[in-house]
Amino acid sequence: MADIALGRKVPDIALQLTGDRATSLAEYRGKPLVLYFYPKASTPGCTQEGLDFSAAIAKFRRQSCTVLGASRDSLKAQENFKAKQGFPFELVSDQDESLCTAFGVMKNKNMYGKQVRGIERSTFLIDADGVLRREWRGVKVKGHVDEVLEAVKSLGK
């Protein structure tokens, strides 16, 4: 986690995207990137968050901003989630947790009285130069996308 901090350039990390495409964070330099992490594909909160980003995608694109969603789900699960919900952006399959670990989103959580390790819902705004400008941790879905969009707009073009 020490590598990634506000005001610092984000390291180039390999990504496995829906559409069976291998890429890396560096490929997104040149315009802003919103990278949001969610705990599990096809669960109610994660579905709502994805739908909220979908509903606002035209506004993000007007800011020349790319949106990527990421979780530890398999590529197949991510493909199914994207297709079922009609998301107009790619999803990242981070089964080896390299991306999650780099951004420090893995947390111990209580589920039904048991300690489980999982993703803390979080969003990161990376500017066109690859510098981390904003982060939101422990995100509550309602109203979150609007807040992220305002932060993207504040970057200017």
According to the model, what pLDDT value does residue 108 have? Answer: 87
Q: What is the pLDDT of residues 50-97, one digit of tens each?
A: 999 999 999 999 999 999 999 999 999 999 999 999 999 999 999 999
Q: The whole model's pTM is what?
A: 0.94
CA atoms within 13 A on the CB side of 39: 19
Q: How far is CA 142 from the centre of its chain?
A: 16
Which element (helix H / strand E) includes 144?
helix 144-154
State the catalytic residues.
Answer: 46
Q: What is the pLDDT of residues 109-145, one digit of tens each?
A: 777 788 888 999 999 999 999 999 999 999 999 999 9
The span from the CA of 29 to the CA of 11, in Å, is 11
Which structural domains are found in the chain, ordered by start? Answer: 14-154 (3.40.30.10)
